[in-house]
Chains A and B, each alone.
Chain A
């Protein structure tokens, strides 16, 4: 048992990978709740692609250390361009996002394609190197998590109001565009933090699936967030363990980032099976209640 569940993580690189995933679980589990209630699935996906040219430029300019600032700059450009592009009535939000996504991603590909080590670089940048996470990257992720979670905690009430009743939020004097920008930048920060480890493309799973899993089990935002964090942490652990054993014991190479995402999807599918039983339980509870309590 020990050999299967704990031994893999005694290797320093595996321990760091798990640490990174646990931090990301906490971060993404919470942010994904806002992605869910604001229906920003496509925004999250767009962000994962538009950050790519920033990653490339940062990498070409300053090596691995340049990736973080480069990605951050690209995320800021994306947020600004998205606001600008969606002002036309004729260009719907999804069209604007799709065009921005392809254009910026293509710029990244063009930049990479001029390098000799084109393919290896592209793969590393898109799919991350989960097993090569450095202590510096861990510290970076922790800092990002602290900033984003503090911001979201401070603005939770306003963001919720904005999500469920934007007109009231505007009437009460909240600056809706500023709340939107805050959330978009939070999503961008998750993408930036996860870009080097999980890779830009698989981040979209971390931004959507956790809350989707929680939503299957509960109506309450706090519970959804908690389920999302726990599910993502469990998926991180399971995915790493599976890809480690597949490689060491069976000689089968499984991409670690992809395996983690598949584990998360598996947990989501499990949650899909839960509702029928749960609904029955709720119905039974309703029946037990005295009639006057049902308002």
Chain B
């Protein structure tokens, strides 16, 4: 397809696909408070990518392998005495990232590769990258559609779900693996930081507008896709790093929602704080011009 031969067109498609996957899964991340885990994943998959590049294996495979290892490490370390999940997650993050940095520093082109990893290089995506992103997006959408009810149940009432016979451990692991898949797909194009932005900010913003998980998920996906495509166009217009422009668009949406969202935003709280009698400035006023 000649249209796909243009780098910017490929970048646009990648932006839409990655935005969809991250936005859809983001609601689960926000509801289950897995933002730090997602952050750790973006860093802990790094050594896998470096090793895969050195050995000559597929980069996605290397990243996924390291991601699964890191997820298992977090689960195992959380059970050690005195280790809460945040400590275990931080240890995995620090260890994984330091390993990646050291491995990479032994190679040539250290600075260039590292920058690409942190900030991403969405303008260099290939058709194969697009295929992987499409597959992961489809897998995320399918999982959410099939297991939406179970996911909501286990997120809000673990004990109840367990008593009802659901295997909460398996569901948790499934969510962690989906996060891992989205991170591994998004990081090469979008960079570590942007990936976190795309997963958390749109879902956090959507939560300030609605209570319904279905609506929230759709809204998060919409906000994420708008951020990726809008940020990409902005970065081309203003000549700034694409990853940073997209991150700032996504976090900008979150900031606006914090201010004027329909649920628990600054605006609604300011309205609620005013006494009932003065709730509407024009209440009780005589009709004018009569």
Q: List A residues at the B interface (Cβ < 8 Å).
A: 36, 39-42, 44-45, 49, 85, 88-92, 94-99, 101-103, 105-107, 109-110, 113-114, 118-120, 122-123, 126-127, 201-202, 204-205, 207-209, 212, 215-216, 219, 252-255, 257-259, 261-262, 265, 268, 272, 275
Cα distance, A44 to B204, chains bound together (Å): 21
Contact B264 A88 (CB under 8 A): yes
Residue B194 is within 8 A (CB to CB) of chain A in the complex? yes
Which chain A residue shows the least CB distance to B105? A255
Q: If the complex has contacts A49-B193, A202-B97, are A106 and B244 also in contact, measured as CB distance less than 8 A?
A: yes
Cα distance, A109 to B190, chains bound together (Å): 13
Distance to closest chain B CB from A280 (angstroms): 15
Contact B258 A91 (CB under 8 A): yes
Which chain B residue shows the least CB distance to A218? B82
Contact B81 A42 (CB under 8 A): no
Contacts of B258 in A (CB 8 A): 85, 88, 91
Contact B194 A252 (CB under 8 A): no
CB < 8 Å: which of B84, B102, B239 contacts A254? B102
Cα distance, A110 to B239, chains bound together (Å): 9
Residue-by-residue, is B1-44 near A (CB-CB < 8 Å gives 1, otherwise 0)?
Answer: 00000000000000000000000000000100111101100000
Contacts of A268 in B (CB 8 A): 91, 95
Counting chain B residues whose Cβ lies within 8 A of the other chain, the interface size class is 35 or more
Contact B87 A41 (CB under 8 A): yes
Contact B39 A101 (CB under 8 A): yes
Total of A-B residue pairs, C-beta within 8 Å: 198
Distance to closest chain B CB from A46 (angstroms): 9
Contact B106 A254 (CB under 8 A): yes
CB < 8 Å: which of B81, B112, B251 contacts A102? B251
Residue B187 is within 8 A (CB to CB) of chain A in the complex? no
CB < 8 Å: which of B93, B115, B263 contacts A90? B263
Contacts of B194 in A (CB 8 A): 102, 106
Contact B97 A101 (CB under 8 A): no
Q: If the complex has contacts A45-B36, A106-B197, A120-B111, are A258 and B101 also in contact, measured as CB distance less than 8 A?
A: yes
Contact B36 A90 (CB under 8 A): no
Residue B99 is within 8 A (CB to CB) of chain A in the complex? yes
Q: Could you pull out 26 A-B pairs where Cβ atoms are within 8 angstroms?
A: A40-B86, A45-B90, A88-B265, A91-B207, A91-B258, A92-B33, A98-B36, A98-B39, A99-B254, A103-B248, A103-B255, A106-B194, A107-B244, A109-B193, A110-B240, A110-B241, A113-B240, A113-B241, A119-B115, A122-B119, A127-B101, A202-B98, A254-B102, A254-B105, A268-B91, A275-B80
